[in-house]
């Protein structure tokens, strides 16, 4: 595993040396590539550093369709930070993996992927749920992945069982509860909902990340969640981020960037935040790094918005 000292010493090396170290580390720790489906017990999985659990989604947009879901953005971001990332999901494989080729994926399978139809209006994005893939329970986690250093529970539509949290006490447990904070109506329209297990689940996490949009701007709910979680980050798009540490609020401004597509920025923030916390940054230090990484993402579309290893190197070099 790459250590906190690695990042502290990063600026002492040339870019070429950094890349050599990163890829040498990956070479020494080989892992399976691509989709691994069917019977999990029959497949050999290699250990990973960053496990993200949640549905890969099929997102239907005015211009076509693409892979989405918090798990996709998180895994690619973790990989850019030098982590061996893996995804546990249930997905129908309707469209090519694209940028996710090379990420090990334990796929439980589905007749249809969780599918969202996205419509953009003057008041924002409207989503309709067309299909929902099967839920994910702890018994589906490959044995070799159960001791991942960082575990990220990333539901998009309630598919991740809240019963998973207690099984990862030895990991840094990060939660992006967006999918536990919404529901769908009879016509498929997605809307905000109550999350009865919030206090219990957040108390078991090491950190959680939400957007103000996730809670429909409900500041009372933000305060309740900040009380329950040891560390809670609340992203507010271009306005920046609030970080609550044991209920105490700290505010951070975001760099102002030209925005093309904000999709996935919150997931990119969360992944960077969880990684930096795991490697010893204070919550505010971790949030500053995560804010910078996420701000740079909004100028690109889809999974192309996730950072590259070069961008992570440049970010740390600029900070030192």
DSSP 15-31: HHHHHHHHHHHHHHS--
- The domain 4-319 belongs to what CATH superfamily? Ribokinase (3.40.1190.20)
Q: Which residue's entry shows tokens 């694209």?
A: 98
pLDDT number for residue 31: 30
Number of other residues whose CB lies within 10 A of the CB of residue 68: 26
CA distance 88 to 206: 20
CA distance 187 to 166: 35
Q: Which is more confident, 264 or 186? A: 186
Domain boundaries defined on the chain: 4-319
Number of other residues whose CB lies within 10 A of the CB of residue 42: 7
pLDDT number for residue 11: 36
Inform me whether the pLDDT recorded for 97 exceeds 80: yes
Show the DSSP H helices in 177-264 as ranges.
198-204, 219-228
By DSSP bridging, strand 190-192 and strand 231-235 are: unpaired
What integer is the mean pLDDT of 58-62?
A: 92
> How far is residue 20 from each of residues 16, 85, 105, 271, measured CA to CA in Å?
6, 19, 25, 24
Show the DSSP H helices in the chain as ranges.
4-8, 15-28, 70-80, 198-204, 219-228, 265-278, 283-297, 309-319
> How far is residue 115 from each of residues 54, 79, 162, 262, measured CA to CA in Å?
13, 25, 22, 19
Q: How does pLDDT run across 165-180, given as a tens digit for each residue? A: 999 999 999 999 999 9
CA 319 to chain centre: 24
CA 126 to chain centre: 21
Q: Which is more confident, 221 or 12? A: 221
Inform me whether the pLDDT recorded for 320 exceeds 60: no
Give the model's confidence band at 240: pLDDT under 50 very low, under 70 low, under 90 confident, else very high.
confident
pLDDT number for residue 256: 67
Nearest to 238 by CA among 286, 300, 297: 297
The three-state DSSP-derived secondary structure of 282-298 is CHHHHHHHHHHHHHHHC
Nearest to 229 by CA among 214, 213, 249, 212: 249
pLDDT number for residue 33: 35
Instruction: Return the minimum-mean-pLDDT range out of 11-20, 168-177, 189-198.
Output: 11-20
């Amino acid at each position: 595993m790459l250590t906190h000292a690695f990042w502290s010493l990063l600026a002492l090396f040339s870019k070429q040396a950094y890349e050599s170290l990163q890829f040498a580390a990956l070479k020494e720790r080989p892992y399976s590539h691509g989709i691994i489906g069917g019977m999990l017990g029959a497949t050999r999985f290699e250990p990973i550093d960053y496990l993200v659990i949640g549905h890969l989604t099929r997102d239907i947009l005015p211009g076509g369709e693409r892979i989405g879901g918090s798990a996709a953005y998180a895994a690619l971001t973790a990989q850019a930070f030098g982590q061996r990332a893996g995804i546990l999901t249930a997905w129908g494989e309707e469209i090519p993996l694209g940028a996710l080729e090379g990420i090990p994926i334990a796929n439980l399978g589905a007749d249809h992927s969780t599918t969202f139809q996205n419509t953009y209006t003057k008041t924002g994005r409207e989503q309709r749920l067309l299909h929902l893939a099967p839920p994910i329970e702890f018994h589906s986690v490959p044995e070799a992945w159960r001791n991942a250093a960082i575990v990220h529970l990333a539901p998009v539509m309630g598919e991740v069982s809240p019963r998973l949290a207690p099984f990862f006490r030895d990991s840094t447990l990060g939660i992006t509860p967006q999918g536990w904070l919404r529901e769908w109506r009879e016509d498929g329209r997605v809307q905000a909902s109550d999350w009865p297990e919030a206090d219990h689940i957040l108390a078991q996490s090491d950190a959680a990340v939400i957007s103000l949009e996730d809670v429909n701007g409900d500041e009372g709910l933000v305060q309740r969640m900040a009380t329950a979680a040891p560390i809670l980050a609340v992203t507010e798009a271009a306005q920046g981020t609030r970080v609550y540490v044991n209920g105490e609020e700290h505010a951070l401004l975001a760099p102002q960037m030209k925005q093309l597509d904000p999709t996935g920025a919150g997931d990119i923030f969360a992944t960077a935040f969880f990684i930096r916390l795991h490697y010893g940054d204070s919550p505010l230090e971790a949030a500053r790094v995560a804010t910078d990484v996420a701000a740079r993402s909004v100028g690109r579309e889809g999974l192309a918005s996730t950072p590259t290893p070069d961008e992570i190197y440049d970010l740390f070099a600029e900070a030192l």
